[in-house]
Amino acid sequence: MSTPTYNVIGTRPVRHDGADKVTGRALYGADLQLARMVHGAILRSPHAHARILRIDTAKAEALPGVFAVVTAADFPPAPADKLVDFGEGETPLSSLRGNILASGKVLYSGHAVAAVAAVNAHVAAEAAALIEVDYEPLPCVLTAPEAMAPGAPILHDHLPNGNIAETVHYEMGDLAAGFAQASLIVERELDTATVHQGYIEPQNATAFWNTDGRIQIWCSTQGSFVARDATAAVLDLPVSHVKVTPMEIGGGFGGKINVYLEPVAALLSKKAGRPVKLVMSRRDVFTGTGPTPGSRVRVKIGVNPEGKITAAQAWLAYEAGAYPGAMVVPGAMTVFACYDIENILIEGYDVVVNKPSTAAYRAPGAPNSALATETVLDEIAEKLGLDPLTLRLRNAAREGTRRADGPRYKRIGCVEVLEAMQASPHYNAPLPGPHCGRGVAIGFWFNVGLPSSATLSVNADGTVNLIEGSTDIGGSRASLAMQAAEVLGLRAEDIHPTIVDTDSVGYTGVTGGSRTTFATGLAVHDAAQLVVEQMKARAARLWAVDQVAFANGVFSSNGHSLSFADLAAQLGSTGGPVSCSATVNPKGVGGSFAGLIVDLHVDPETGKTTVLRVTSVQDAGKAIHPSYVEGQMQGGTAQGLGWALNEEYFMDAAGDMRNGSYLDYRMPTALDLPMIETIIVEVPNPGHPFGVRGVGEANIVPPLPAVANALYRATGKRLNRVPMNPATILGL
């Protein structure tokens, strides 16, 4: 098969929102100013688990400058057992509301209890402090193994199995027979700590409840339609009563899909009769949003003397936080997803604990489980005397491999990623000296489809306006515009992308699941093809011909030819403007594999780890804008290195987070990292016209195990806990 050649795809134009973002003109959620706008503050629980006996808001309401105070009692009445569904399974409305404003009990330190709107944020904070809440403290439980133990404090009365909200079970082949064929079996159990997505922009929402009953919301969200639907559900309103305008967003990584503030701002606005803006503090972000689950994962793998895996077993327990939904299902689905294995048993447990309710974080659930699988494989490779990548290549998933959760892979790039790692300059370079180690690991993420919509309108000057609804979190305006430009034979800068509110474009799912360049890209592609067809019809009318060809931006027929721009200039006289829309719900999602090679130095006295060299490898399918593909790989790698080496919620026995600031929750700085080399592998996804897979997530999966494996090579120790910080390394 010949490789298609492209004019725009694969080039590196300046992003369309670039000028605004380097000059300070781009408007993020907190930048919004509206006439008569007032400011809110949230009162949060100091207890990890307590019954709310009484809330008295009188003193807060009496403070001069206060416009409104709300609690869970201000939610409109709704049936207690009502379920809501945003396309990813049903959630009880009580859980959704419960995490937004606590009712009856608080379930974690930082749980929102009440909110105030006042003339400015200072007065709002003073008023929030005047709200009196009587609590009856209850015993708390903070880890999954403890919460699963008999006699543990119970968070929710309605869960049938104590604190276990959900179990997942995947079985394939004959596990006992598989282990009986093994000549070597390795089993390890590894824990990971709770970590946060760490986006630099705190959550924010501004709401105005208009006199006609419609609510307008401006916020930083990964999905304006999901924010709309969730807000409407929480407030028990039809979705058409809510309009969400997505502002520029300062990072998300999965953590800005859930709604926290939007319904609260709306309730405050209804009472205040004014627009209300809520912005979280950094401590609120740490204690009230995210994080990603802490976990315990046990993996047992058997191999034959040639290194072929004969059986694999996994047991996973993930902390959901206060409400069900720990991402243990994707953790279980990905635990052996990189390998072709006949005999598998996987059991997973979604366990509620008295920590913030967890949210998605880049390939949610997958790094936790890959940590166990990939470190066990490293140990097996060592014991067999095999190169760790060779061991993986002997077992790598390919087209047709069946995953334990059911599906058979279509065309995938697992082998190609491993081969690129093996051939890389990094893998073939020597280590620099003593106390150094090199580790490798690979990982998988499904990526998702979900609906997307786009509209293209042709301007008389030959440029095209692109209207779309995908929040641009890392250059997607560019990657979408480039796909339109490719179809239309234009330059990337001839396309003008605009992201609009939920009243102004067709339904579009979240910017998440690595789906935007894939799914919204497909909508843009399809809309662009419709534009081409309409433009051809105009040329046919102009030239009085039946057939018109279009290639490289030129329409032609029977010796006639017109450039796109020249034909665009004649639209007015050939029937009027051309504007085409497409909505897609693609099924041809292409999963992505990623690998990491990391070299570390460990100071034997202090246990301090220095990352010396790192190479991220990922199958992009087709890289539309290679710079932003590299950026995703580098960003996911940096987050994974922070997770592996340093990041952690320090919870005291009472369940209070003791490091809820950037000073103490230390994310990697520029000084902590080297340059991050990237190798983009391109195994086109047959489900996308340009082969796009999506690259946002798989890259965060390999760093945890790659670091663990490198630390073993540097220190001789197999550590069983992430973060692998100096204390863990020195065994303190």
Partner 1 sequence: MSAKVQVQTTINNEPVEFLCEPRQSLLECLRDIVGLTGTKEGCGDGNCGSCTVKLGDRIVTSCLVLGVEAAGQSITTVEGLAHGNTLHPLQKAFLENAALQCGICTPGFLIAADALLQKHPQPTEEQTRFWLANNLCRCTGYDKIIRAVQAAAHEINANSGAAQ
Binding site for partner 1 (CB under 8 A): 12, 14-15, 17-19, 21-28, 30-31, 33, 65, 122-123, 197-202, 248-253, 279, 281-282, 473-475, 625, 627-628, 630-632, 634-635, 637-639, 661-663, 667-673, 675-676
Could you tell me if 381 and 438 are in contact, meaning their C-beta atoms sit under 8 angstroms apart?
Answer: no
Distance CA 513, CA 446 (A): 8
Minimal distance, residue 662 CB to partner 1, in Å = 4
Query: What CA dihedral angle connects 172, 175, 180 and 182, to 10 degrees?
Result: 70
- Residue 568 sits at φ, ψ, to 5 deg, of -60, -35
Per-residue DSSP letter, 518: I
Distances, alpha carbon 601 to alpha carbons 82, 383, 707, in Å: 54, 23, 11
> CB 600 → partner 1: shortest distance, Å?
16
The stretches of 221-361 forming alpha helices (DSSP H) are 224-234, 262-272, 282-288, 328-334
> 580-619 b/e with 16+ CB inside 10 Å = b?
bbbbbebeebbbbbbbbbbbbbbeeeebebebbbbbbbbb
**Residue closer to partner 1 (CB basis): 162 or 703:** 703
Q: How far is the CB of 362 from partner 1 (least distance, A)?
A: 11
Backbone torsions φ then ψ of 172, nearest 5 degrees: -150, 135
Q: CA 267 to CA 245: how far, in whole Å?
A: 18
135 versus 199: smaller Cβ distance to partner 1? 199
Q: Using an 8 Å Cβ cutoff, are 480 and 497 in contact?
A: yes
List the structure tokens of 233: 């559900």
Q: Which is nearer to partner 1, 413 or 640 (by Cβ)? A: 640
Task: CB nearer to partner 1: give 99 or 197.
Answer: 197
Count of residues making up the chain:
732
3-state DSSP call for residue 295? strand
* Residue 79: DSSP 8-state: -
Q: At what angle do helices 262-272 and 224-234 cross, to 10 degrees?
A: 60
Minimum CB distance to partner 1, residue 677 (Å): 9
Report the residue number, 468 or 647, with the smaller CB distance to partner 1: 647
Q: Measure the CA–CA gap between 380 and 53, rounded to whole angstroms.
A: 56
Q: Got the DSSP string for 407-430?
A: PBP-S--HHHHHHHHHHSTTTTSP
Q: How far is the CB of 596 from partner 1 (least distance, A)?
A: 12
**In angstroms, what is the minimal distance from the CB of 455 to partner 1?**
25
Whether the CB-CB separation of 593 and 334 falls below 8 Å is answered with no
Nearer Cβ to partner 1 (586/635): 635
Task: Tell me whether residue 351 or residue 473 sits nearer to partner 1 (CB atom).
Answer: 473
Measuring CA to CA, which residue among 593, 588, 586, 585 is closest to residue 685?
588
Contact 262, 231 (CB under 8 A): yes
Shortest approach of partner 1 to residue 699 CB, angstroms? 10
Q: Are 36 and 210 in contact (CB under 8 A)?
A: no
Task: Report, in Å, the least distance between residue 641 CB and partner 1.
Answer: 8
E strand or H helix at 298: strand 295-303
CB of 451 vs partner 1, minimal distance in Å: 24
Kindly state the smallest distance separating residue 59's Cβ from partner 1, in Å: 17
Contacts of 305 (CB under 8 A, 6+ apart): 183, 184, 384
Q: Which residue's CB is nearer to partner 1, number 1 or number 22?
A: 22
Minimum distance from residue 431 beta carbon to partner 1 (Å): 21
By C-beta, is 23 or 573 nearer to partner 1? 23
Q: Nearer to partner 1 by C-beta: 60 or 164?
A: 60
What's the Cα-to-Cα distance from 19 to each of 9, 29, 102, 251, rounded to whole Å? 21, 18, 42, 18
User: Least distance (Å) from partner 1 to the CB of residue 441?
Assistant: 17
Please identify, using beta-carbon distances, which residue of 282 and 491 lies nearer to partner 1. Answer: 282
Say whether 581 sits in a helix, a strand or coil: strand
The nearest distance, CB 25 to partner 1, in angstroms, is 7
- Nearest distance from residue 720's CB to partner 1, in Å? 27
Please tell me whether residue 80 adopts helix, strand or coil conformation: coil
CA angle, 683 as apex, 680 and 689 as ends, to 5°? Answer: 110
Give 28 or 427: the residue with its C-beta nearer to partner 1. Answer: 28
Q: Which is nearer to partner 1, 251 or 588 (CB)?
A: 251
Instruction: Pick the closer one to partner 1 by CB: 37 or 571.
Output: 37
Task: List CB contacts of 395: < 8 A, sequence separation 6 or more.
Answer: 307, 308, 309, 339, 340, 341
